[in-house]
Amino acid sequence: MQCHTCNCTDDGTADCELQECAEGEIYCVTQIENNTLRGDVRLTRRKRCLPANQEAVCENTLDHNTGEFSYRMYSKCCSTDGCNSGAIEMPDIDKTPNGKTCEACFVEDSLQCSEYKTIDCTGNQHECLTFQGLGQRPGLDWKNYNFKGCISSDACKADLTKLPASGVSETTKYSCSLAMSLKEQPQSSLLPNVIARVTIHGFPVPGTQKDFLEANKLSSE
């Protein structure tokens, strides 16, 4: 299969070429990425071949927010020769609070946040992301980052080391856990100081209410 391949300018124009896809690359994709830090907006569009193991991004919007840093990506996939010739725009983002919250922080040139806050999740942000390691904003140098915040559901099913323009090192640890509303969270006065943890992509994250209850059961036996 052949796909248009190029990085595009902010207005979506580019000199794209049809290129033969490698074995296992079964989709043509056009992607748009918005990486924004404290008002510095870096918008990138990209066309390329996409392997089957990255199909989780197709027709999905990845939406992450820490309060001062936000990242959004949308991917439109197709599966015939040269089908990714057209331009795309970022879908409208639902900014309506959905009743979920996440712990949030952001720091660059460091692997450990020192200040934390709780932020309201919006739209389809039903999970919390923790990111720790080397990252790169488009056109800038690689840096150490540690940040937490709300993220769209199933985002960690995507390979974040294969973003259109932003860079994530293979050694970087990132994980997603379910965001919880206040009414869903266990009351700390009813549980011992036991934290169950799970690990995704090598990084431990807080477990669910079920994990807490199971840990409590084990500690009492």
Domains of the chain, with CATH numbers? 2-178 (2.10.60.10), 188-220 (no CATH)
Question: Within 10 Å of residue 138's Cβ, how many Cβ atoms?
Answer: 15
pLDDT at 93: 87
* pTM of this structure: 0.78
**Separation CA 27–CA 54 (nearest Å):** 9
Of the candidates 158, 127, 116, 110, the residue with the CA atom closest to the CA atom of residue 64: 127
Q: What is the pLDDT of residue 70?
A: 96
Q: What is the pLDDT of residues 111-156, one digit of tens each?
A: 999 999 999 999 999 999 999 999 999 999 999 999 999 999 878 8
Q: Are 197 and 203 in contact (CB under 8 A)?
A: no
- What burial letters (b/e) apply to 24-59, b meaning 16+ CB within 10 Å? ebebbbbbbbbbbbeeeebbbbbbbbbeeebbebee
Between 86 and 38, whose confidence is greater? 38
Q: What is the pLDDT of residues 64-89, one digit of tens each?
A: 999 999 999 999 999 999 999 888 89
Percent of the chain with pLDDT over 70: 79
Tell me whether residue 8 is exposed, middle or buried, using C-beta atoms within 10 angstroms of its C-beta: 0 to 12, 13 to 18, 19 or more.
buried
Q: Give the C-alpha separation, 125 to 174, whole Å.
A: 16
Q: What is the pLDDT of residue 42?
A: 94
Could you tell me the two tokens for 184? 């869903």
